[in-house]
A and B are shown apart, each in its own frame.
Chain A
Amino acid sequence: MTGRPISPEPRHLPDRRIPSGARPRTREHVLTVAAWLAAVLVVSVAAVGCAYLLWRGVPTLGRALFFGDTPPLLAMAGLRPVWDGIWPACAGSLYLVGLATLLVLGPGVGCGIYLAEYAGPRARRHLGLAVELLAGVPSIVMGLFGFTLILVLRRTFVPQANTCLLLAAGCLALLVLPPLVVSTRAALESLPHGLRLTGAALGLTREQIVFRVLLPEAGRGILGGVMLAMGRAAEDTAVILLTGVVANAGLPAGLLAKFEALPFTIYYTAAQYQTEDELARGFGAALVLLALSGSMMLGAGALQRVMERRHKGEDAWN
């Protein structure tokens, strides 16, 4: 019995056989080790940073860090001013982040939805470019923009206008708008086209498809963008520096009042501290800011899980 003739190697094809040497394998090893090292580096930097902050910050945690000599209940109710505690800064940061999130949520998510679902190619190109340009604006420039706006207002329509909580939150909202737009758009665009087709085949209108089918499904990505925006709003110092934050304002008296904020307190303490105790309070404030951002993330995650369970079914997380 004769076997099938072995066809000769076609001459016109390049020789793609891997050489018997170990070069490709070595390269693969190097790449794997480099990837591992990069991952270890990220975790190590985060761990070292957190550990150092915990080491310096934990001993300062206590009633005195937040309220100084003022009775906590009176301080929280705003009946007695806090002079040497970070409670007004905590409250100011919460107000600031809450207000900025409130201001950015509608335009950010709305713009993302428009770009992903409604915009034509031309509008998509132009608006996308505008969002990218806005994303490239440094935060200090955004602060300058707010400051200039107040100057213009003072010279024109509102002579008594001044930097305040509302202005700072507005500028922060502008600063965190692009990531929210981008994440909303990406979350919607990553959904399979089949979902839109299924909705249309069932007789749903485009609004029903977007708001009842696609948005709940894209919720995780959008909430990720919201969390990113909140985190950025909580930590940014440059914008608020020029738009209303001060070292000693007490609890914010209103939207048009000056305010304190944790990032500015940390910056101010680091730059101006006179004693070791003051520096330790700065570390305490940094730890509190980290905890605040962390709890906002955890809260958003829990909210997202509840929403997803309600939308997808009871066992979506089992």
Chain B
Amino acid sequence: MELNIRDPEPGLRVTGLRVSFHGRPAVEDASLDLPRTGVTVLLGRSGSGKTTFLRALNRLNECFPGCETTGSILLYPGGRGGEGLADGTPTTPCGVPGPDGPCDVLGPSGPCDVLGPSGPALTELRRRVGMVFQTPNVLPMSIRRNLLLPLELVRGQLPDAPARMQAVLTDVGLWDDVRQRLDRPAAQLSGGQQQRLCLARMLILQPDILLLDEPTASLDAATTRDVEHLVRRLAADRPVLMVSHSLGQALRLADRVVIFANGRPQREFTPADLGGDAGRDALMQALL
């Protein structure tokens, strides 16, 4: 149950990460490996730095003023479908800044401006590290454009874009609901449907890693269960890092539960640890 931050074949490796806003640290000395597949659930009290940690992985914190990020985040290629070699050697150079081999998300010279010279590389990083937020945040346009516009802007004009759209909508269980109203505003969908649309919008960009920030926080029980099934399926061939406040959800979903406190991962639990009362008591103790 002690934190075992190192994985022999990581999909993502975080070492000594520190994120501060206007000099005040939100994440400090955080180190963690994400395995190549499976769901890692981050549990912790509000304000412990979980969301900041998540946003550091796709450098979204840099959209906020006064943010400073140091440390190392290595993104290992080949997470999905044999697109790279098993030992982490990239088969093709990837656009994310960093030396060959695993790409250093923060770049060799530390974090850079979102719009700085490494803009396109940042674009590629965020495509590869997909993120879904706590509240559904559909773009104020039609359902079809919600999916096709990011795809077009990030990956260019693709002849099979409509087929991809149908595939991801089917994947998230939304195709039958929206096939007749693809050109209607996405904001007309229910909260659960909007969140599934957000998942589909992320999936159409074919990310290697999924970051989910309490994706079921605003959903009802039935939709939560659907999304959880979907997350389990998606985690079969890529790492999923998910923030949750629900102990039950962590028990249902997680291949690994990491307790986050004081701006860093502190302890971890596996499903085997949590099978008995002692493990659950230890988890509760760690959370309190």
Residues of A within 8 A of B (CB): 194-206, 208, 212-213, 216-217, 311-316
Residue from A205, A212, A216 within 8 A of B120 (CB atoms): A205
Q: Which of B6-14, B70-78, B125-133, B248-256 contacts A (4 or more CB under 8 A)?
A: B125-133
Q: In the complex, which residues of chain B have a beta carbon less than 8 angstroms from the beta carbon of A213?
A: 139, 149
Q: Give complex CA distance A204, B60 in Å.
A: 12
Tell me whether A202 and B133 are in contact in the complex, defined as CB-CB below 8 angstroms, given that A313-B142, A313-B184, A314-B142 are known contacts.
no
Q: Which of B39-67 contact A (CB under 8 A)?
A: 58, 60, 63
Is B60 touching A197 in the complex (CB atoms < 8 A)?
A: yes
Tell me whether A203 and B149 are in contact in the complex, defined as CB-CB below 8 angstroms, given that A196-B63, A197-B63, A313-B185 are known contacts.
no
Residue from B143, B145, B154, B187 within 8 A of A204 (CB atoms): B154
Residue from A200, A212, A313 within 8 A of B126 (CB atoms): A200
Residue from A196, A204, A217, A312 within 8 A of B150 (CB atoms): A204
Q: In the complex, which residues of chain A have a beta carbon less than 8 angstroms from the beta carbon of B63?
A: 196-197, 200
Q: In the complex, which residues of chain A have a beta carbon less than 8 angstroms from the beta carbon of B184?
A: 313-315
Residue from A194, A201, A205, A311 within 8 A of B141 (CB atoms): A311
Number of interface residues of B (CB under 8 A): 37
Q: Which residue of A lies closest to B58 (CB)?
A: A201
Q: Give complex CA distance A213, B125 in Å.
A: 20
Q: In the complex, which residues of chain B have a beta carbon less than 8 angstroms from the beta carbon of A204?
A: 123, 150, 153-154
Q: Which residue of A lies closest to B144 (CB)?
A: A313
Known: A197-B60, A200-B60, A203-B123. 17 other contacts (CB 8 A): A194-B133, A195-B139, A198-B133, A200-B63, A200-B126, A201-B58, A201-B126, A202-B126, A202-B201, A203-B125, A203-B127, A204-B154, A312-B187, A313-B141, A313-B184, A315-B184, A316-B185
Say yes or no: is B205 at the interface (Cβ < 8 Å to chain A). yes
Say yes or no: is B140 at the interface (Cβ < 8 Å to chain A). yes
Tell me how far the C-beta of B131 lies from the nearest C-beta in chain A, rounded to whole angstroms. Answer: 5
Tell me whether A206 and B186 are in contact in the complex, defined as CB-CB below 8 angstroms, given that A195-B139, A314-B142 are known contacts.
no
